[in-house]
Amino acid sequence: MTRWPYPLQPPFFHSENHPAMNFGAIGAIMGHELTHAFDNNGRHYDSTGRVKNWWGAKARKAFLGRARCLIHFYKRYREGGRQIPALATLSENIADVGGVALAYDAMNSFIADASPATRKHWPALPDGMSASKAFFVSYAQTWCTQPPPPAQAAALMNYDEHAPPRMRVNGPLANNPAFHEAFQCPKGSKMNPLEQ
């Protein structure tokens, strides 16, 4: 039997983290991968993996409208003076936005369903943080990275289907009402734009 060589470990999961932090890290990654089944590529496959147009006309129209909005939204981001390729990164952007939303909902359900006796044994939240704030900070920390040199960053934008790491944080969080509420982002600010 082949074993995966990298067990769950920080920064994605740690048994000494409050569950909100683990949901923000590994939970958002799991949600990201699940969302791929319904993104602009995955939606073309049915439950058996066959290419099949299984969505109804109303669902397709709604999806395409929302996808256009997300393309428009991500076009506002620039890296190294260049607009990120919002159409080329659409699948990953959908999965990032969906992954954060799914993990946040899962965290809230998990916390609500836990008994007081269970919650009593959870590690404490970081000082001054609610579960919501800890979730979003944990998510953002998974994308902490040393930026590549400008020439390499520009080259990556020519072929990488992912947005640059900074946009993988700012994009999903700026599209998330729970983030706006947790951090009291004023309407019309960079992280709570009027158009989402």
Q: Which of 33, 46, 161, 181 is catalytic?
A: 33
**CA–CA–CA angle 20, 17, 191 (5° rounding):** 40
- The DSSP code sequence of the chain is ----SS-S-TTT--TTS-HHHHIIIIIHHHHHHHHGGGSTTGGGB-TTS-B---S-HHHHHHHHHHHHHHHHHHTT-EETTEE--TTTTHHHHHHHHHHHHHHHHHHHHHHHHS-HHHHTTSPPPPTT--HHHHHHHHHHHTT--PPPPHHHHHHHHHH-SSPPHHHHHHHHHHT-HHHHHHTTPPTTBTTB-S--
- Of 98, 72, 92, 103, nearest to 165 by C-alpha is 92
105 is catalytic: no
Q: Which of 39, 79, 92, 96 is catalytic?
A: 96
CA 23/CA 5 separation, integer angstroms: 22
92 is catalytic: no
Active site residues: 33, 96
